Amino acid sequence: MPGIFERLFKTGQAEAHALMDKMEDPIKLSEQAIRDLKKDLHESTKALAEVKAIAIRLEREKNEHGNRASDYERKAMVLLQKAQGGDLDEVEAERLAREALSRSEESQQRHAETAAQAEQQQQMATKLQSNVNDLKSKISSYENDLVTLKARTKTANATRKINQHLSSVDSKGTVALLERMKNKVEEEESLAQAYGEMAEDTQSVDDEIDKAIGGTSTGDDSLAKLKAKMGM
Write the pLDDT tens digit of every residue in 174-201.
Answer: 667 778 888 888 888 887 777 777 766 6
Run of H or E including 214: none
pLDDT at position 232 is 67
Query: Is the same domain home to 115 and 209?
Result: no
Q: Are residues 69 and 105 in the same domain?
A: yes
Give residue 214's region: left, alpha or beta (phi > 0; psi -120 to 50). Answer: left
The answer on 30 and 115 residing in a single domain is: yes
Q: Kindly state whether residues 69 and 140 are assigned to the same domain.
A: yes
- What's the DSSP call for residue 23? -
Last residue of a domain, one of 126, 142, 169: 169
For residues 159-176, average pLDDT: 72
In this structure, the answer to whether residues 181 and 152 fall within a common structural domain is no
Query: Are residues 141 and 188 part of one domain?
Result: no
Q: How many CB atoms lie within 10 A of CB 5?
A: 16
24 shares a domain with 118? yes
Domain boundary among 143, 169, 195: 169
* Average pLDDT score over residue span 114-140: 94
Q: Is 144 exposed, middle or buried (0-12, 13-18, 19+ CB in 10 A)?
A: exposed
Q: Stretch 121-129: mean pLDDT, rounded?
A: 94
> Highest-confidence range of 3-17, 48-62, 158-172, 215-229, by mean pLDDT?
48-62
Instruction: Taking residues 162-170, report their average pLDDT.
Output: 72
pLDDT tens column, 38-78: 999 999 999 999 999 999 999 999 999 999 999 999 999 99
pLDDT of 188 reads: 81
Q: Which helix (H) or strand (E) holds 216?
A: none
Q: Does 219 have pLDDT greater than 70?
A: no
Structural contact between residues 23 and 62, judged by C-beta atoms closer than 8 angstroms? no
| 96 shares its domain with 200 | no
**Rounded distance, CA 9 to CA 2, Å?**
11
Who's near 58: CB < 8 A, 6+ residues apart? 114, 117, 118, 121
Rounded CA separation 149/112 (Å):
55
Residues 219 and 187 in one domain: yes
Containing structural domain, residue 212: 175-228
Mean pLDDT score, 109-116? 96
Lowest-pLDDT range of 8-12, 46-50, 120-124, 190-194 = 8-12
| Judgement on whether residues 152 and 181 belong to the same structural domain of the protein | no
- Do 75 and 162 sit in the same domain of this protein? yes
pLDDT surpasses 90 at 124: yes
Query: Higher confidence at residue 222 or residue 109?
Result: 109
Q: Specify whether 144 is located in the same domain as 185.
A: no
Read off the pLDDT band of 169 (50, 70, 90): low
In this predicted structure, the answer to whether residue 168 has a pLDDT above a threshold of 50 is yes
All residues at 6 or more sequence positions from 65 whose CB lies less than 8 Å from its CB, including other chains:
107, 108, 110, 111, 114
Query: CA-to-CA distance for 53 and 132, rounded, in angstroms?
Result: 16
Give the rounded percent of residues in the chain with a pLDDT score beyond 70.
74
DSSP letter (8 states) at residue 24? S
- The number of folded domains in the chain is 2
Question: Helix, strand, coil % (nearest 5) of the chain?
Answer: 90, 0, 10
Residue predicted with more confidence, 29 or 15: 29
